[in-house]
Structure 1
Amino acid sequence: MAMPIASSPLGTTDTSGQPLMDEAPLMSIHIIAALACLGGAALDGYILGIVGPALAIAKHELVLTAMSQGLIAASALIGVFIGGLIFGNLADRYGRRPVFSWNLAAFTILSVCQFFVQDIWQLVAIRLLLGLAIGVEYAVGSSVLAEFSRRKNRGALLGGFTIAWQIGFTAAFVIGAFYEGHNWRMLLGSSVIPAAITYVLRLFLPETPMWLKAKGRDAEARAIVDRHFGPEYAIPGVDVSSKGTSPRELFKRDTWRQTLYSGLFWFCQVGPFFAIFTFMVPVLEMLGLHGDHRVDLSLNAIQIAGVIFGVLMIHWMSRRGFVVWTFVAVLVIFLVLGLFPHAPTWFVVGMFAAYMFIGPAINNIQFVYPPEIFDTHLRATGIGFSAAFSRISAAGVTYLLPYLLQAFGFSATLIMMAGFPILGLIATLLWAPETKGKQLR
């Protein structure tokens, strides 16, 4: 049966009758937080998306094999694994703002470094370090936005991470498709532009009042609320005086299932997604679709539509119901494509387009569920663990996909990937909590 998660009452005021800050109307601080956080998500999508077109150009110069292409593509995902584990906990210990700001400086520097890559291992090292910075975005970005969000529209706002990520990813795909030069370093290094813009935005974002209150720094928290929300608003109840920020807190008797589930549903969603979308070019070639920019643009338009659809479904549906429904949809698509490899072309294209729609829609929940599952004192640590756990499948399948496609073909590879939605569906039916409308604490 599903494991319930205790949540605080859905009150709109504190004990003194003051309205809570997450019940405030839309204010400038909400817009600043959204731009600063979602800008990082768009940057992440761009960095992970631009590597595919760049490798298509670089493979001759660097003499890339299928396995080395997989290693380069997976290196950033390996970095996310490490970054999520380390920097999420640092953000819980020392503050969201310092960790959240300085990683954009790292993004900018590492983007510039890509202009000077000379061999495979230099590129792997830089992409690995970029992954560390992306891990910060997953762990800390969603924590920051959740703690500045309005409760009523929190799901749709956090789902905006996926819209921003998809915009960045699609921009990379479109730029790569229309780029007619041979300087693959220019493609990779182009991420310096969104990195610098996002860094400037984050200079205007204060520390979150909920984190300050969790650390007993009530005066500082009160000053931020007074300045950005108004003295009439109170901070939601955060009582962590007897709790620490050690990752061990995630695996206590009353928390290990929610922690494991938060990572496992993400693990099952992103493994096939990153592999297929990173190597979109060879996948489209196997389907006989590559080379027509109209097809490329149509597929990207489908992805954007899927993301927007996903945000609407997050707003309308329960969290648990959304995950169940999407796992079933992906399972059906993978099995149909895998079991009927000789189906009419229009049918195969239609089913693949369905995944191009559903895949991005699914990603919305990855930025909504974990911030609602974990409490403030461990929110970034828990999200960091979940992101890191998910990258085991993302990096592994991305690394192996070129080999699997070469050795077994597209249909057999999809049948293998059907194991991910099966595992995710079982875990969801057994353990998934319901957190929609939960008062963060």
Structure 2
Amino acid sequence: MTTNPLDDAPLSRFHKKLAVFSSGGPFLDGFVLSIIGVAMAQFADQWGLSSIEQGLVGASSLVGILLGAYAGGWLTDKFGREILFTIDLIAIIVFSVAQFFVQDVVWLIILRLLIGMAVGADYPIATSLLTEFTPRKYRGPFLGAFVAMWFVGAAAAYVVGEVLARTGHEDAWRWMLASAAVPAILIVVARVGTPESPRWLISKGRNDEANEVLRKVFGPGVSIADLPQEEDSNVSVKDLLRSGYGKRMAFITLFWTCSIVPLFAVYAFAPTILAALELEGDAAHFGSAVITILFLVGCVVALLLVNRMGRRPLLIHSFLWSGIALLILGLFPGAPSMIIMALFAVYAVVIGGSQILQWVYPNELFPTEIRGSAVGMASSLSRIGAAIGTFLVPLSLTGIGIGPTMLIAAAITLIGAVLSQFMAPETRGMSLTECAALTTTRSALPTPSVV
């Protein structure tokens, strides 16, 4: 195991601040994608929206994330992490406020699409920056915390949505959708002054600037001479789809898709799904809030296990047991309310493992030159399934019923377990350079096993 000042540095105040500021993107993602479910319960009736129109509104942000994530990844690899770290959030502020004034569903879909693009762009930007500064001991928990912040944002959305809904004002939904601008403004202010990644500066030949950042963050005795060279110094974006990197991209995209398709579908229409399971009115909304908290609990538990248990076994067990919970829900949709909530609780807690690894794996398995593009492409490709799933949920509920809908979700989740069994590598304890090296990671691959 090699050592270097970045991978083995002690945790500092700078690292903690960067982790908090970087996680603002997933907080906004959770907020934006969840608040629409609460707001739609009001404006869908006002505007007389069909199931198809509701599906388009719910899926538009996911389509935007699909487009924005890859664009953001390419831009951050080309122009750097620092400058884009605030620009994307400014776009979220502008488009969120614009939702307050929207007068028809078409413009609402367009604005939600643009917000999704800005949110999607932030993921590769923020995760690349955090990855390239964080010591190896804390890399898994810090990156995994991104997903935990997604659920914090989702929980905040349900609270804000319920408070505004109880005002009884017919335009409360407008305030709900515009409210995302408030945390976005705070995050932009906090991110000002964040330095550029020294690894990215080195990859662009800007060694003097890299040395300046290293001295500022890690001390006067640290320079680029202390950092190991990455195995593939001339890796291009084309390598994302070929050779060993192509296999890694396939694995990440497949497991990510299997993880978020059921989850995003449930989140966009949580009150509707719980109502279909015969939890009505306040019980459905209360159940949504409880499930959100349990998702957060699951992420926290997974953060505690990601270094102890390892990436690979955590991923396999997460898919297996959450898929079984959804399978039972699908087979017995008429079960007593307490059993239904218990099964949703199991799913919410156990799926946390696959959720946090969505940001750990893609940032660890690719070199600096294409890290942002890799994260962006994986996020984009996985959102194709998520957008389709979110669009089809209302149609599925009305067309085939809640039982078959939950069975489909279970099948997707269990497919994730099978794929992970044969494709998931183990990167626990490796330096960032070792993780990204094709030969090193291949030799570290364990034989297929869940333990």
Fold-level similarity (TM above 0.5): yes
TM-superposition CA deviations, 1:353-379 (whole Å, max 9, x none): 212323445311111111011111110
Length, aligned pairs only: 425
Distance 1:201 1:345 in 2: 43
Q: Structure 1 residues 387 and 297, CA, compared in 2 at 3 Å: closer, same or farther?
A: closer
Is residue 2:253 matched to residue 1:263?
yes
Distance 1:206 1:365 in 2: 26
Bigger CA drift: 274-283 or 348-357? Answer: 348-357
Distance 2:426 2:13 in 1: 30
Partner of 1:315, secondary structure, is coil
Q: TM-score, normalising length from structure 1?
A: 0.92
Q: Structure 1 residues 189 and 434, CA, compared in 2 at 3 Å: closer, same or farther?
A: same
Corresponding residue of 1:22: 7
Corresponding residue of 1:272: 262
The Cα of 1:191 is off from its aligned counterpart by: 0.5
Bigger CA drift: 307-316 or 206-215? Answer: 307-316
Is residue 2:23 matched to residue 1:38?
yes
Corresponding residue of 2:356: 364
Residues 324-403 of structure 1: pairs in structure 2 closer than 5 A: 324-403=316-395
The Cα of 1:252 is off from its aligned counterpart by: 2.1
TM-superposition CA deviations, 1:217-262 (whole Å, max 9, x none): 11100100101211223453244785144x3121222321111111
Corresponding residue of 1:16: none
Q: 2:190 aligns with which of 196, 201, 218?
A: 201
Corresponding residue of 1:186: 175
Distance 1:159 1:49 in 2: 20
Is residue 2:298 matched to residue 1:306?
yes
Higher relative contact order (CA 8 A, sep 6+): 1
Q: For the Cα contact (< 8 Å) 2:256–2:382, is it kept in 1? A: yes
The Cα of 1:116 is off from its aligned counterpart by: 0.9
Corresponding residue of 1:6: none
Corresponding residue of 2:207: 218
Distance 1:283 1:242 in 2: 49
The Cα of 1:60 is off from its aligned counterpart by: 1.7
The Cα of 1:324 is off from its aligned counterpart by: 0.6
Match for 2:273: what amino acid? V
The Cα of 1:296 is off from its aligned counterpart by: 4.6
Bigger CA drift: 180-189 or 337-346? Answer: 337-346
What RMSD in Å do the two structures reach over aligned CA positions?
1.7
TM-superposition CA deviations, 1:149-191 (whole Å, max 9, x none): 1111211111111121111111101222232133211100001
Match for 2:234: what amino acid? K
Distance 2:72 2:157 in 1: 26
The Cα of 1:98 is off from its aligned counterpart by: 1.8
Q: Structure 1 residues 296 and 79, CA, compared in 2 at 3 Å: closer, same or farther?
A: closer
Q: For the Cα contact (< 8 Å) 1:161–1:367, is it kept in 2? A: yes
Corresponding residue of 1:76: 61
Bigger CA drift: 142-151 or 284-293? Answer: 284-293
Match for 1:369: what amino acid? Y
TM-superposition CA deviations, 1:398-439 (whole Å, max 9, x none): 000001011111111111222312322222122211111221
Q: TM-score, normalising length from structure 2?
A: 0.90
5+ residue gaps, structure 1, are 1-9, 14-19
Corresponding residue of 2:82: 97
Q: For the Cα contact (< 8 Å) 2:322–2:348, is it kept in 1? A: no
Distance 1:394 1:207 in 2: 32
Distance 1:327 1:54 in 2: 31
The Cα of 1:273 is off from its aligned counterpart by: 0.2
Bigger CA drift: 181-190 or 234-243? Answer: 234-243
The Cα of 1:328 is off from its aligned counterpart by: 0.4
Distance 2:414 2:289 in 1: 31
Is residue 2:278 matched to residue 1:288?
yes
Distance 2:348 2:162 in 1: 17
5+ residue gaps, structure 2, are 434-451
Partner of 2:83, secondary structure, is helix
Q: For the Cα contact (< 8 Å) 2:26–2:149, is it kept in 1? A: yes
Distance 1:149 1:323 in 2: 22
Indicate the percent of aligned positions where both proteins have the same amino acid.
Answer: 35
Q: For the Cα contact (< 8 Å) 1:214–1:238, is it kept in 2? A: no
